[in-house]
Structures are given as structure tokens and as C-alpha cells.
Structure 1
Amino acid sequence: MKTILEFPSVRGIQAGREYYVSMCPLGHVPKIFTFTDEALEPELRAQRQLNKGRVPEIVRYLVENPASYVFSAITASIDGDATFTPHPGDDHHGVLRVNLNDSRIILNDGQHRRAAIASALVESPALADETIAVVLFHDRGLERCQQMFADLNRYGVRPSRSLSVLYDHRDDQALVAKLVIGQVDGLNGLVEMEKSSLSPRSKALVTLSALYTATAALLQDVDLDGVDARATTAAGFWEHVAGQFPQWTQVREGELSSGQLRETHIHAHGVALHALGRVGNTLLRRGESFAALNGLNGLDWRREASDWDGRAVVANRMTKSHQAVLLTAAAIKTRLGVPLSAEEQMFETALARENA
């Protein structure tokens, strides 16, 4: 006996070929849509291997945001028998019937969403009745499926990290970073909100993504209740920091270009902001005031200064690796009389050994 799967669909045309757009209950997604064999060589598959490390994050997103999650359409190819029957008098709307006895519906795009849906349904069965949009193509063989995968991913561009932070209203750290910008006069007009890198002619001094990272380091494991309290504390810190760098004011007032300052001083770079966040974190966790930061303007922040060689500057180039952040933080802390963390001390000892 034939097992027929019916998709109420809208029929469209792309490149002279029919395709179909339908809706599928989430509860049916793991049963209907399959992968090609992951054990096959890449040239024999129609898609990338499933990265299982990505799935728990997507599951958490689904389960924790049941009233606001958004999933884009998944795209699949029907490998086998399928027939579209239009409604009377309407060539575009109808029913797509797939014979499951001799057909498979293989995902071209959306395998991680499919795996996440399967796991999320275990934690939240109520999701089963919700739907996801599905775009279905009639399979033209492995070569066509592989080309579809390449085409679907050809022009996908991941948004910049700054733009992701700007548009994220769920992440408390993103909310804090954006609140800080509005509360710190010293950062007014100096933050690039969209891009995660700065051109030499940019009027901005720091990126939102760099401020986000540095502020997260500042507040890590600090016991403050709520976004507003965390933002107020962070704003106080960054206002204090900005007050130590008169060049920031010069950039804001147009007396000095951001590019010129970034070319000559490290405190206009993300690695230094992140390191400063670590300094502030130590002060907060020790219950100390930000008065220790008053010594910042006494440091030599020029890129050629020996204090930063092998730390923020390696082979005459700025670097923002984890090691660079820790070593830069260690140098600042040492000058300000702030204790080093165990990890910072480990890297500091290793650097001293290298330079001996």
C-alpha cells in the first residue's frame, strides 16, 4: 500500500523549474526530512556534515524563547515520485503529493535546524504543533543537489558582530553595552555601531563589538542585580577610563582623527579595551573604587613603547589574541598596583622566561 504525504503548497518557477512552498509542523520535521549519509565522502554527499556542537545552542534558543523565536525556511529536494495537483481554477495553489514508499525528502539547507527541532521537541513537546516554512524542489540527481547547496550558501554573509550586538535584545550583555554608550559622555560619537573593524578614515574610535567584549570582561562574576545596575556600574568605569585619555576628547571634537590615534597609541584598540575591562573586573571583585585608574594617563600608551612589545604589539603589529589581552592586562595592573589573576601571572612568567 502506498504511503502518500500531502503538502498544501504554492507553486512557483525559478530558472524554468517548478518549486513548491509549504508549511510543516515542527513535530513532523524529524520524521519527514532526512540527511544524506554522513559517512559518505564529501563528493558523494549533497550537503556538509552535521556539526553537532552547534545543535545545543539552537535547542536552547528554541526552548528559552517559545514566544519570540524565529526560524527561516528550510530547503529540501524530493528524491522520487511527487505530483502537484492544482486547485480548480488556480494554477499556483494546490497539493503536492509525495509517495514515501519510493521517495526521500533530503535537506539541502537546514540540517542543523532539523537536528535542533528534534532535540527541542523532547524538552518542549508543545512545539510540535508550530510550523516552519519549507521550500521543496523535485530532485534532479546528486549533481543538481550539490549545486543547489553551493548556490544557497554562495552569497550568505554573516552580519558583523557589532550589528549582531546592536540588534540583539535578548542578550543582557548586549543590552548593557548599548546602555553604556548612552550614559558615558566620554564615548559620545566614538562608537561604531555597525561594523566590527574601523577604516583609517572612520570617525569612530571603538566598535560596539569591542566595547561589548570589554564590558563583559569588566562585569564577569560581579554580583550586580539586573541590567540597569550592571550598566550603571560599567558606565562609571568607562567614564573614568575615558577621562584618563585626553586624546579621546580630541577625536570626539575633531582635533585629532581616529586613524591617527589608532596608528600611534594602543588604548584606541580592542585589545587594550579588553585588558582594561579585566583591570576593572579585579577592582570590582575586590570591592575597590576606580581611583586606581587615575594612574592610567601616566602610562606610555604609544605603540612603540617597550611595555607593549610582545603583548599588544607582536612583530610591530597589533594583536588581539587571548594571550595578548592577558599580557596587556598584566602590564597595566602591574603599573597600577593591581593584583594579577593566576592566568595572567602564568602568561607573565612565561613571557619573562622567553625574554630572559
Structure 2
Amino acid sequence: MNFSYTFPALRGIQAGREFYTVMCPLRLIPKIFLFDEDEIPVEHRAQRLMNRSRIPDITNYILENPKDYIFSSLTASVDGTMRFKEASDEMKDIGQLTISLDSKFLINDGQHRRAAIEEALRISPELGDETISVVFFHDLGLTRSQQMFSDLNRHAVNTTSSIGILYDHRDQLSLITKSLISGIPLLERYTDREKVSLSKNSPKLFALNHVFNTTSRLINKRKGEIISEQEKEFVTEFWEHLCVSIPEWQEVIKKKLSPRELRIQSIVAHGIFLESLGIVGYYLYRYHPDEWQSYIKKLKNIDWSRENKEDWQGRAYSNTGRINKNGETIQLTANLIKSKIALPLTEQEQKIESKFKEASLNG
């Protein structure tokens, strides 16, 4: 190997095969992994094609958090000559890994991180001296790369969106949501901070992601966006007023009704109800900024019972009685809430409503 890369490395063994972990400067990542995976026949491709829409988010994460971003290791197959030189007889698994320059490198895990690193380096070249760990597997002919990708992802379990919100200490919307839950007794006591949906026997009323999604709808802001002080104040006041305007919730906090019983009896213990109110709240924020509280008080007079099929069947739940939360049913539920508290529908909302009523008549 006349021309090669050389890295300080740790050697390990899995399934009887050697593999190597190296610390690689970020500036080398785009240079090493030049192999265009789009040109690889699908039968030899290690991963699905790259979803390029993910790259800007990862790039911004690096650039916006230069003091505390964190990346896990890249994992790659190497089709080429590799040689490990032990540091000494006493430290046989510490040494130098040399890889020929004409080797082909194929990422098994981390292709989006690699692309984001390349983009970040174009904007902040000084990041090039920082490092990322890379795990290299020797794979002549890249014959094992697909199975490696499958095995690496076989037991992966994505965290719930609620856990993602709970652990996010940068995003303003996540921070506001957690502040609401900590500061409002009903939310603090009856919000499950880990699950995204509640079982019928759960002692909680809400899931954290439901509160997050509702708050997002209230001010029409998404994760990562800047939130003004005025918007923060509105969100807090809205939730405070809402929590005392739903009699059924007050029954729960007074221990006169259990969350399980409320979930069976009413739509107010389900995420579709909360997110529908988020839509209503945003309309009030835009068009009734000085009198929205009076509209929220009217919620006390609405029959939220699941026995009220005339109102909620086909909107909040299906003909079988199962809660059916999706974009359309959330909007249909919000439409009816708006009409019950004397708010007009927007042009788009009216189109959805007309389509629903036409389908109901034909059904």
C-alpha cells in the first residue's frame, strides 16, 4: 500500500471477524466517503436511497449548537486492503489502521450524518479539526453490506415523540410545553410524559405529545421556530382558562371521576379533542385577541359525551365508537366546536364541512 490513510485505532472482534474503531477528523469524512451510493445497483446497495430533505435539519443542528452537538459513530464497510499494526505486545488491540487509498467505502449507518457534515464544513470550515468515531468492517466486494445494514437496524427502537419532547432542552416549543405541564396542576398531575397514546386503563388524561401538538396549533408554530413573548403569554393563559372551562376535567381533579371513566364516557380525554381546540384557539388568537376568554368559557355548555352521537360520531370517533384522530377528523371536530361557540368557519373549513355533510347524506 504505497498511498493510504492511517488512523490510530482500536481493534475488536465480533462473530470471529476483526473490526476497527478510529477517530476521524470531520474534514476527512467527505473525502473518504466519495463513493456515490446512488450509482450502486440496488442489489448491492447497503441502505435505502438518501432522503435529502433530512440533511438541512442535521446541518443546522451542527451549526446552531457548535459547543454541544453530539453524533454517534458512522459505520462503514471497506472494500480494499486494510492492515492493523499493534502498538506493542502488551497492547495488541491498540495500534494503527492503514487503509489503501483505492479502497471503496460504503456507509452502513450514518449516510445522512455524513452529508450534513459535508454541508456544515462548507459554512464553517473550522469544524474540520473536530472528530467523529468511525467503525470500519473489512468487506471485500461489499458482499456483506446489505446484511450489515439489516442487522444494525434489526433491533432499533425509535423513541416516542413524547420522549423526544421531554429530552429536548433547546426547542422553544418543547420548553414551553414542559413549562405548561409543570405550572398547571391539572396538566402536571394528569400528563403522561413518555407515551404518545394512553391505554384505556391509564391513570393519566393526556400524553405529552398531545399537549405539544395542541400548543403548536395554538400559535401556528412548529418545532425549531422562534416564539415571541406575546405568543408565550397567550399559550399560558389559554391553557389556564381551558383547564377550568371543562367541567369533566374538574371532576377528575376533584377525584369524583377517574381518567378511565372519563375516557370511556367523553371525548375530552382524548388527543383529538385537545388538538381540535388548538385550531379553535389559533382562530381566537388571530381574530379575537381581546375577547377570546369569553369564547373559551362557552365550552362549559357543550355536551362532550360519547353518547352524543349526533355531534361527535364521524368526527371525533367512527361508527364503531373508536376514536379516529387524523388531520381531517381533528378539523371536523374543531369545526363543530367553533359553531357551538358562535365562531364562523374559514373558507377552507367550510369546504371540509360541506364535503363531510355531503358524504353523510349519501352514506
TM-score under structure 2 length normalisation? 0.91
1:324 counterpart = 2:329: yes
- Contact residue 77 and residue 142 of structure 2 kept, 8 A: no
Deviation at 1:158, TM superposition (A): 0.8
Deviation at 1:260, TM superposition (A): 2.2
1:263 aligned partner: 264
Deviation at 1:349, TM superposition (A): 2.2
Between the aligned partners of 2:349 and 2:169, the Cα distance in structure 1 is 33
Between the aligned partners of 2:162 and 2:7, the Cα distance in structure 1 is 40
1:217 counterpart = 2:188: no
1:309 aligned partner: 313
Q: Which moved more, 1:75-84 or 1:10-19?
A: 10-19
Between the aligned partners of 2:277 and 2:219, the Cα distance in structure 1 is 12
The number of residues matched between the two structures is 353
Residue aligned with 2:343, SS: coil
Residue aligned with 2:92, SS: strand
Quick one: which of 349, 355, 362 aligns to 1:350? 355
Between the aligned partners of 1:3 and 1:40, the Cα distance in structure 2 is 25
1:333 maps to amino acid = K
1:182 counterpart = 2:182: yes
Unaligned runs of 5+ in 1: none
- Contact residue 186 and residue 239 of structure 1 kept, 8 A: no
1:127 counterpart = 2:127: yes
Q: Percent identity?
A: 42
Residue aligned with 1:78, SS: strand
Residue aligned with 1:38, SS: helix
- Contact residue 191 and residue 206 of structure 1 kept, 8 A: yes
CA offset digits 1:192-216 (Å, max 9, x no partner): 0011111122111000100000011
CA offset digits 1:37-89 (Å, max 9, x no partner): 42444332222211112112111211222122111100011111000001123
CA offset digits 1:289-319 (Å, max 9, x no partner): 3111111121111224211222222333211
1:293 maps to amino acid = I
1:266 maps to amino acid = I
2:314 maps to amino acid = G
1:295 aligned partner: 298
Deviation at 1:16, TM superposition (A): 2.0
Between the aligned partners of 2:230 and 2:254, the Cα distance in structure 1 is 30
Between the aligned partners of 2:148 and 2:16, the Cα distance in structure 1 is 15
Between the aligned partners of 1:282 and 1:214, the Cα distance in structure 2 is 13
TM-score under structure 1 length normalisation? 0.93
Between the aligned partners of 2:51 and 2:348, the Cα distance in structure 1 is 31
Unaligned runs of 5+ in 2: none
Deviation at 1:93, TM superposition (A): 1.1
Residue aligned with 1:293, SS: helix
Residue aligned with 1:98, SS: strand
- Contact residue 169 and residue 175 of structure 2 kept, 8 A: yes
1:336 counterpart = 2:337: no
Residue aligned with 1:118, SS: helix
Q: Which moved more, 1:38-47 or 1:269-278?
A: 38-47
